[in-house]
C-alpha cells in the first residue's frame, strides 16, 4: 500500500482543560499519513483516481478550527474517524503535536494509527 501524507499542518483551535485555555486559540501541528493505492492514478494520469489531499486538508482544517475539545485525545480520535469515514483510505497514522504544552519540552502530543476493522 502506498502512503499519502500531509506534514506540518498547523491549525489554531480551542483545546485544553484549564480555564485560560478555554479563552484562547492554541496552535496544534498535524502530520497525517494515509494508506491509498496510487497505481490507477499513476497509470492513467487521471485525478479522478487520486486521493484529493487538498480536500482532505480543507476538511481537517475546518473541523479542527471549529472544534473546542478539552482533550487532544478526543480531537485526534475525531480526526481519524473523519478521515476513515469520509475518504477512501483503509488506514491512517496521525501525529498531533501541541507545542508549548509542557514548558521544558520542545514537543508534546499523541501518535495514533487507525484502520477499518
Query: What is the set of active-site residues?
Result: 98
The candidate with the shortest Cα–Cα distance to 81, out of 60, 108, 98, is 60
Cβ-Cβ contacts under 8 Å for 73 (sequence gap 6 or more): 110
What DSSP designation does 18 have?
S
Q: What cell does 2 get?
A: 502506498
Mapped onto helix, strand or coil, the DSSP state of residue 82 is helix
Amino acid at each position: 500500500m502506498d502512503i499519502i501524507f500531509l506534514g506540518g499542518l498547523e491549525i489554531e483551535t480551542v483545546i485544553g482543560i484549564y480555564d485560560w485555555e478555554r479563552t484562547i486559540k492554541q496552535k496544534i501541528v498535524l502530520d497525517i499519513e494515509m494508506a491509498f493505492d496510487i497505481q490507477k492514478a499513476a497509470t492513467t494520469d487521471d485525478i479522478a483516481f487520486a486521493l484529493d489531499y487538498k480536500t482532505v486538508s480543507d476538511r481537517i482544517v475546518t473541523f479542527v478550527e471549529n472544534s473546542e475539545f478539552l482533550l487532544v485525545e478526543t480531537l485526534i480520535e475525531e480526526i481519524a474517524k473523519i478521515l476513515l469515514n469520509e475518504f477512501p483510505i483503509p488506514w491512517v497514522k496521525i501525529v498531533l503535536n501541541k507545542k508549548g504544552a509542557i514548558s521544558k519540552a520542545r514537543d508534546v502530543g499523541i501518535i495514533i494509527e487507525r484502520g477499518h476493522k
